[in-house]
Amino acid sequence: MTRPTIHDVADAAQVSLATVDRVLNNRGGVAAKSVKKVKQAIAQTGYVRDRAAANMSRSKFYRITFIIPDTTNAFLDQLCDAITLQDAMLRQDRVSLTIRYVAAFSAPAYCAALQSLSADTCDAVVLMGIEDADVHAEIQSLTDTGVRVVTMVSDLPAARRADYVGPDNVAAGRTAAAFLGRFVRQGNVLLLPGAKAVRDHVDRRQGFQDIMAQDFPAISVHVADEGADDAVQTFDRLRDNFAEKALVGVYNVGAGNSGLLLALREIPEHMRPVTILHELTPMNRDALQSGLIDLVIDQNPAEEVARAISMIRNLIDGRSVASDAGLIQPQIFVKQNLP
């Protein structure tokens, strides 16, 4: 059976090909009555737009730059692998993905990266939000040139970004507290706060402390000094605090988990604190499988990348984007339900 074409839509709607083209590409200049007729004709004929062919005919590319922290981090490795895979898969759809690495937690580095981009070099930028007034200003400047800016993993709701893709990190922190509180009930718990420069760490910490204070008054939460996702610093924070406070629980809002796991291995098994981490990386998966840690909250980086790309293509094409299109539901993993 021959698939319906734009000519079939024009015939069914009794309008010109130019009118159908304007409606399909959201170009405006079409009477509301004609728009309605075209949409009815699309439904009637079963026409499905071949986006790749349409893009080819207009020589259109979706040029998307991902700004990624340049640091040793298994989760970011998964994220970059997903971007590379999507780039290979979507080339036929004229989607071009580029990764731009910047120094982690460095506002000047983020600003420099944003300043180097323009509507001449890219159509959209995806970045992990870092809280800084200058970064906000650069996002606004880039947005003013017509480049769509989408935050991913870590949001900047006060910035002029187009949208956000990722989990509700306050809810993620609250979830960690709900589980850890029920696991230990009372005693000293260590919160490893990551870095206050990134919103996802701040939000997780807030959610965790809110629930602990509200629902588990017999638990004392001790907030370690920032470790900035560094394995050595994270190792030191856990080792020093365990020696001083006889910890029954640990929650790490960020990365640096290779150091954390090393510190846990030094603790006799019967004395190890219940431990909750983020991201089902190969290392965290092995630790969960062996019983070294107890629970992982994962945000599915491959799904985040795919959602970000889909969202940006819709934004560029003038299509509507649902308010929850970017919301990623975290998955909870324990040893018994590992995929």
Domain at 62-166+301-328, CATH homologous superfamily: Response regulator (3.40.50.2300)
Q: What is the mean pLDDT of the chain?
A: 93
Would strands 95-103 and 62-70 be described as parallel, antiparallel, or unpaired?
Answer: parallel
- Residue 179: CB atoms within 10 A of its CB come to 19
Going from N- to C-terminal start, the domains of the chain cover: 6-49, 62-166+301-328, 169-298
Q: Write the pLDDT tens digit of every residue in 121-150.
A: 999 999 999 999 999 999 999 999 999 999
Q: What is the pLDDT of residue 34?
A: 87
Please tell us whether the domain made up of 169-298 is placed in CATH 3.20.20.150: no
Residue 7 scores a pLDDT above 90: no
Q: Write the pLDDT tens digit of every residue in 189-201.
A: 999 999 999 999 9
Q: What is the pLDDT of residue 287?
A: 99
* Contact predicate 110/141, CB 8 Å: no
The reply to whether 6-49 and 62-166+301-328 are identical in fold is no
Strand partners, 103: 70
Quick one: DSSP state of residue 215? H
Q: What is the band of 35 on the pLDDT scale with cuts at 50, 70, 90?
A: confident
Specify the amino acid at residue 248: V
Q: Write the pLDDT tens digit of every residue in 262-317.
A: 999 999 999 999 999 999 999 999 999 999 999 999 999 999 999 999 999 999 98
Q: Write the pLDDT tens digit of every residue in 87-129.
A: 999 988 889 999 999 999 999 999 999 999 999 999 999 999 9
Q: What is the band of 31 on the pLDDT scale with cuts at 50, 70, 90?
A: confident
Strand partners, 65: 98, 125
Q: How far apart are CA 262 and CA 243, in angstroms?
A: 15
Q: What is the pLDDT of residue 254?
A: 97
Specify the amino acid at residue 262: L
Q: What is the pLDDT of residue 6?
A: 82
- Residue 50: CB atoms within 10 A of its CB come to 13
pTM above 0.75?
yes
| Closest to 221 in 3D by CA, of 263, 268, 253 | 253
**Residue predicted with more confidence, 241 or 2:** 241
Give the architecture-level CATH label for domain 6-49: Orthogonal Bundle (1.10)
Q: What is the pLDDT of residue 2?
A: 73
| Closest to 139 in 3D by CA, of 67, 204, 202 | 67
